[in-house]
Chains A and B, each alone.
Chain A
């Protein structure tokens, strides 16, 4: 099976712009989670989608949003970018998102905000 794919791999944006990141989960996986990884904060949970519904949400401002499509592909949007949004954004998929499920991670999208 193909792994989790994320596009684009690298992005450079300026403050105030918005950005959309895309994630394609492993075939058959219905849960998609998003994480922000920074050197200072480590891996922080953004949100999780299952069957096109946001099921869990982390402690991020409303500028961070996402959605999931009927084929389980997911997108994440960040509006009004700030310098502090520079990070590696990771997507992970799992069959059902249950607590014992293994999450499979994609390579990430490296976002740089100037």
Chain B
């Protein structure tokens, strides 16, 4: 079974700071990787996903993530955060074949100070 670890539980940054949220997964085969975001009072929505090809994927709102297969990592980055990025961020993984479930990390709460 797959598992996902998000190392940072709560991150506090000032506006314009750079962001990197860590995500590591455990699974023996090829995977699809996702970052979802949950803004206060809103439902989960997809930020970006990787399933093949270029390991550097770009998502909405200036976010990007890099899949490093050798490190089983899929860290989320943004060069300059805004107050509106305050939210909870979830990394998730699913096996590349079959209809296996999506497994989520425990989430990272991001607070941006204006």
Contacts and interface: CB of A to CB of B under 8 A. Distances in A.
**Secondary structure of the A side of the interface?**
strand
Given A45-B103, A58-B101, A99 B95 contact: yes
Interface residues of A, number: 26
A103 B32 contact: no
B99 A99 contact: yes
A48 B100 CA distance: 9
B100 A99 contact: yes
B40 interface: no
Contacts of B107: 42-43
B63 to A, nearest CB: 15
B104 A42 contact: yes
A97 interface: yes
B43 A106 contact: yes
B40 to A, nearest CB: 13
B46 A99 contact: no
B102 A33 contact: yes
A106 B101 CA distance: 17
Nearest to A47: B101
Given A56-B100, A99-B94, A100-B32, A42 B44 contact: no
Nearest to A59: B1
Given A42-B107, A43-B90, A100-B51, A50 B44 contact: no
B95 A90 contact: no
Interface string A86-106: 000010100001111011111
B111 to A, nearest CB: 16
B99 A42 contact: no
B87 to A, nearest CB: 14
* Chain A to chain B: the 6 pairs with minimum beta-carbon distance, closest first: A105-B44, A43-B104, A100-B51, A42-B106, A99-B94, A107-B43
15 contacts: A33-B101, A42-B105, A44-B104, A48-B101, A55-B99, A90-B43, A92-B44, A98-B99, A99-B94, A99-B99, A100-B94, A102-B34, A105-B36, A105-B44, A106-B43
Interface of B: 31-32, 34, 36, 42-46, 49, 51, 90, 94-107
